[in-house]
Amino acid sequence: MAQTKKNKLDFATEEQRTKFIKDIIGFFQDERGEEIGYIAAEKVLDFFTHSMGEEIYQKALNDAKKLLKSR
């Protein structure tokens, strides 16, 4: 499956992306008692990646910079 959307995980391999999607499906089943399909889980992953990915990335960079400065 080719990744053409910009909001998909560009840094993740297809195998990693598939694992994340399966984890989301499992979460909905275990925590909410809801059954969602692969496409719905993929949309959830894309939504959170798109809406929070930049902030998480920036936080990680800032934390790494602080660590390097402290050494």
Q: Average pLDDT per run of 10 along the chain, which is 71 residues long?
A: 52 91 98 98 94 90 96 91
Whole-structure pTM value? 0.72
- Cβ(20)–Cβ(59) under 8 Å? no
pLDDT at 3: 44
Asked if residue 31 is part of any domain, the answer here is: yes
pLDDT at 2: 45
End-to-end CA distance of the chain: 43
Asked if residue 7 is part of any domain, the answer here is: no
pLDDT at 1: 44
Amino acid at 31: E
Asked if residue 43 is part of any domain, the answer here is: yes
Asked if residue 5 is part of any domain, the answer here is: no
Asked if residue 8 is part of any domain, the answer here is: no
Asked if residue 2 is part of any domain, the answer here is: no
pLDDT at 53: 85
Asked if residue 29 is part of any domain, the answer here is: yes
Per the structure, the count of domains in the chain is 1
Q: Could you list the residue range(s) of the whole structural domain that residue 61 is in?
A: 14-70
**How far, in Å, CA of 6 to CA of 12, rounded?**
13
Asked if residue 9 is part of any domain, the answer here is: no
